[in-house]
């Protein structure tokens, strides 16, 4: 019997791993008591997995990544949790336990929620055939309620290298950890290409550090801070028959995918977490890049049907022209019912991915090239939304389609969906969130002064600094003031004497740094223990125990203790795995890492 189990209960573990890479599934989570597949979440049958107490304590193992000696690995993990804390419409609040439990390695126990590097493969997750996993989040839950009893994040230190400075051939810790924290709170993968919960990541990639709209919708729907956001509900059918597992997306008028859901066995869907406004709605089959093998279907029981084509909802007959789809109005805290049902078109052309990274900066020109099957059936391609000019000379072949795109300097950074269609038949295919408008990475030229004392102001010079940037000095995270070519920050009292690297990180996760540029003297702060227990919210230290990780305004206080589990059940989780090179995979996909969904099933039975 596990030492942390009590009474007549004991744990028997069984692990099931999806071996195929995935490109995504949507990201918002079903609110309790509502339709079971109204957002893609980790599911216990028809129930979404969720923490009963949204104030959640985590512990970073004291060794962190033992190959990183400056403590930046701890800062990266804390910033990953902070990203989800800072969603204002979600009440989820994380607190770090910096007490004696930091030395524990028994991640299977429900009374500790560990972030740990597995350097020897002792977890059992990183041996063949699952050795391609870069990180995994096992989740232990109660099947009768979907209540999460335990979640832990395990990095594959046995097979992969990690860093916080984009060292060649390494995976960015904050990037991977932010994705895994989404699984930690119960989110599944996202079919939105640029979302944090999208399962692809490069070495040296930082795009998962910052949350997108569908990530935010997920956290807001399952852990709403106050009133529930609005939602859209309805049915999707083909020839009058219900479609199970259709991916139904709500996209705002800027072309940004804001949230999505999966239809259940009756064809019913509910898309939640929506702000008040107008949207277009479409249903697409999960026949690539996302497929049924990419989900934890062994815990949800959902069937994924793909015998239909992408279809935009319309008030007349359940369809509308992809060139100008009908709009759907959503009010805060209210349901919008789509009538008639989405009447899906027959199966036709299919977009399966990108042939190159589709990121264009404001004021720049570029091209979007998608790959798939039967794409020569389309005669139009567009990326909707303001600030973009799409070329009038697209090219089509059976396996690919391409178009030039000009992004105005005034265009806001955001994700946009790529649409292909035929004017006469309305046959359509989409790549949800396939183009990202993203500002360039910032550059640092220097700091002034370079020798400082606590309380002194430091100026940082360079270019591309965004409003809301933060400075990272040692293990201290400090709000920066300014933007453009200059930002400033104040040296905190908690910073000890020594020489420090200065990093400026923009809100989109991109950063610049200068190593060993700042010399601090005259500090009265005592050195932090190995691994660092600096309070990342900037508050006082108590020498151990629970530390808040920048909870959002109005966030909850730390829970007095961990819940004691009297019964338990299945599990789910998320992780990363190398995408194998296959004939169907375009070059871009073959070069990236797929964060592969898997399930870790645990059951407790009476002795």
The mean pLDDT of the chain is 81
Confidence (pLDDT) at 353: 87
Choice between 565 and 245, residue whose per-residue pLDDT is larger: 245
What gap in Å lies between CA 290 and CA 48, rounded to an integer?
20
**pLDDT at residue 43 above 80?**
no
The SS3 call for residue 370 is: strand
63 band by pLDDT with thresholds 50, 70 and 90: very high
530 band by pLDDT with thresholds 50, 70 and 90: low
560 band by pLDDT with thresholds 50, 70 and 90: very low
DSSP 187: B
With vertex at residue 180, the alpha carbon angle to CA 178 and CA 184, rounded to the nearest 5 degrees, is 110
Write down the domain spans for the chain.
Answer: 9-37+50-222+559-606, 233-343, 351-413, 443-528
Contact 373, 366 (CB under 8 A): no
Both tokens of 383, joined, read 């990326």
Lowest mean pLDDT across 219-228, 379-388, 468-477 = 219-228
Q: Is 516 exposed, middle or buried (0-12, 13-18, 19+ CB in 10 A)?
A: exposed
With vertex at residue 323, the alpha carbon angle to CA 321 and CA 329, rounded to the nearest 5 degrees, is 75
Confidence (pLDDT) at 52: 94
Confidence (pLDDT) at 549: 58
Choice between 128 and 254, residue whose per-residue pLDDT is larger: 254
Lowest mean pLDDT across 18-32, 303-317, 393-407, 440-454 = 18-32
Percentage of the residues of the chain whose pLDDT score is greater than 70 = 77
Choice between 533 and 157, residue whose per-residue pLDDT is larger: 157
229 band by pLDDT with thresholds 50, 70 and 90: confident
531 band by pLDDT with thresholds 50, 70 and 90: low
**pLDDT at residue 284 above 50?**
yes
277 band by pLDDT with thresholds 50, 70 and 90: very high
Average pLDDT over residues 446-458: 97
What gap in Å lies between CA 115 and CA 107, rounded to an integer?
8
Confidence (pLDDT) at 576: 41
Highest mean pLDDT: which range of 185-199, 222-236, 397-411, 580-594 = 397-411
Average pLDDT over residues 342-357: 90
Parallel, antiparallel, or unpaired for β 428-437 and 359-360? parallel
**pLDDT at residue 123 above 60?**
yes
**pLDDT at residue 514 above 80?**
yes
The SS3 call for residue 488 is: strand
Average pLDDT over residues 465-485: 97
- DSSP track, 219-264: HHHHSBSSS--EEEEEEEEETTEE-SS-EEEEEETTS-EEEEEE--
The SS3 call for residue 588 is: helix
Confidence (pLDDT) at 329: 98
164 band by pLDDT with thresholds 50, 70 and 90: very high
Both tokens of 523, joined, read 């500090």
Percentage of the residues of the chain whose pLDDT score is greater than 90 = 65
**pLDDT at residue 102 above 90?**
yes
Report whether CATH 2.60.40 matches the domain 233-343.
Answer: yes
**pLDDT at residue 588 above 70?**
no
Average pLDDT over residues 551-572: 36
**pLDDT at residue 149 above 70?**
yes
Parallel, antiparallel, or unpaired for β 247-252 and 257-262? antiparallel
**pLDDT at residue 475 above 90?**
yes
Confidence (pLDDT) at 14: 27
41 band by pLDDT with thresholds 50, 70 and 90: low
340 band by pLDDT with thresholds 50, 70 and 90: very high
Average pLDDT over residues 222-243: 93
Domain covering 351-413 in this structure, CATH number:
2.60.40
Average pLDDT over residues 18-43: 34
What gap in Å lies between CA 366 and CA 429, rounded to an integer?
21
Confidence (pLDDT) at 192: 82
Confidence (pLDDT) at 35: 30
**pLDDT at residue 17 above 50?**
no
CATH fold match for the domains 351-413 and 443-528: yes
300 band by pLDDT with thresholds 50, 70 and 90: confident
The SS3 call for residue 37 is: coil
Q: Which CATH superfamily is domain 443-528 in?
A: Immunoglobulins (2.60.40.10)
Average pLDDT over residues 256-278: 92
Task: Name the phi and psi angles at 220, rounded to 5.
Answer: -75, -30
**pLDDT at residue 546 above 80?**
no
Confidence (pLDDT) at 425: 95
477-486 pLDDT, tens digit each = 999 999 999 9
What gap in Å lies between CA 358 and CA 388, rounded to an integer?
14
Choice between 396 and 297, residue whose per-residue pLDDT is larger: 396
Domain covering 9-37+50-222+559-606 in this structure, CATH number:
3.40.390.10
The SS3 call for residue 192 is: coil
What gap in Å lies between CA 271 and CA 98, rounded to an integer?
38
């Amino acid at each position: 019997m596990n030492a942390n189990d009590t009474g007549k209960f004991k744990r028997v573990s069984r692990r099931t791993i999806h071996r195929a890479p995935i490109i995504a599934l949507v990201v918002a989570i079903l609110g309790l008591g509502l339709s079971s597949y109204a957002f893609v979440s980790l599911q216990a049958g028809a129930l979404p997995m969720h923490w009963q107490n949204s104030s959640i304590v985590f512990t970073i193992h004291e060794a962190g990544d033992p190959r990183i000696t400056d403590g930046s690995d701890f800062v990266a993990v804390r910033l990953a949790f902070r990203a989800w804390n800072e969603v204002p419409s979600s009440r989820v609040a994380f607190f770090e336990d910096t007490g004696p439990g930091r030395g524990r390695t028994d991640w299977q126990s429900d009374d500790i929620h560990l972030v740990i590097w597995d350097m020897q493969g002792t977890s059992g997750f990183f041996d063949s055939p699952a050795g391609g996993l870069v990180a995994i989040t096992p989740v232990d839950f109660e099947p009768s309620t979907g209540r999460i009893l335990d979640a832990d994040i395990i990095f594959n230190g046995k097979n992969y290298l990690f860093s916080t400075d984009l060292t060649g051939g390494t995976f960015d810790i904050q990037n991977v950890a932010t994705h895994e924290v989404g699984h930690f709170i119960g989110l599944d993968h996202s079919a939105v290409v640029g979302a944090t919960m999208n399962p692809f990541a490069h070495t040296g990639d930082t795009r998962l550090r910052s949350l997108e709209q569908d990530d935010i919708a997920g956290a807001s729907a399952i852990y709403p801070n106050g009133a529930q956001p609005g939602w859209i509900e309805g049915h999707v059918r083909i020839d009058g028959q219900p479609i199970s597992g259709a991916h139904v997306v709500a996209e705002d008028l800027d072309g940004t995918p804001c949230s999505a859901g999966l239809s259940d066995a009756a064809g019913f869907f509910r898309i939640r977490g929506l702000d008040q406004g107008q949207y277009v709605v479409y249903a697409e089959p999960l026949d690539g890049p996302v497929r049924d093998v990419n989900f934890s279907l062994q815990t949800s029981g959902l069937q994924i049907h793909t015998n239909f084509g992408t279809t935009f909802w319309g008030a007349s007959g359940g369809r509308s022209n992809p060139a100008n789809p009908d709009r759907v109005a959503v009010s805060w805290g209210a349901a919008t019912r789509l009538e008639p049902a989405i009447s899906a078109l027959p199966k036709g052309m299919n977009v399966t991915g990108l042939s190159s990274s589709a990121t264009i900066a404001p004021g720049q020109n570029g091209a979007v090239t998608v790959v798939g099957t039967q794409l020569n059936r389309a005669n139009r391609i567009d990326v909707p939304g303001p600030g973009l000019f799409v070329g009038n000379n697209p090219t089509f072949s059976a396996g690919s389609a391409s178009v030039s795109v000009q992004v105005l300097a005034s265009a806001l950074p955001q994700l946009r969906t790529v649409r292909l269609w035929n004017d006469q038949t309305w046959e359509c295919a989409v790549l949800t969130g396939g183009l990202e408008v993203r500002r360039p990475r910032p550059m640092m030229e220097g700091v002034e002064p370079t020798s400082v004392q606590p309380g002194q102001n430091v100026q940082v010079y360079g270019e591309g600094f965004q409003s809301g940037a933060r400075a990272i000095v040692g293990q201290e995270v400090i709000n920066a003031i300014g933007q453009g070519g200059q930002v400033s920050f104040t040296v905190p009292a908690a910073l000890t004497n020594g020489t420090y690297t200065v990093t400026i990180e923009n809100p989109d996760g991109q950063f610049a740094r200068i190593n060993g540029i700042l010399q601090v003297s005259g500090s009265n702060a005592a050195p932090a223990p190995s691994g660092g227990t600096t309070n990342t919210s900037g508050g006082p230290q108590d020498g151990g125990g629970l530390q808040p990780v920048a909870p959002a305004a109005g966030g909850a206080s730390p829970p007095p203790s961990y819940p004691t589990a009297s019964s338990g059940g299945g599990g789910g989780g998320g992780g990363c795995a190398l995408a194998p090179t296959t004939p169907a995979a375009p070059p871009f996909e073959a070069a990236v890492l797929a964060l592969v969904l898997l399930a870790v099933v645990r059951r407790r039975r009476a002795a």
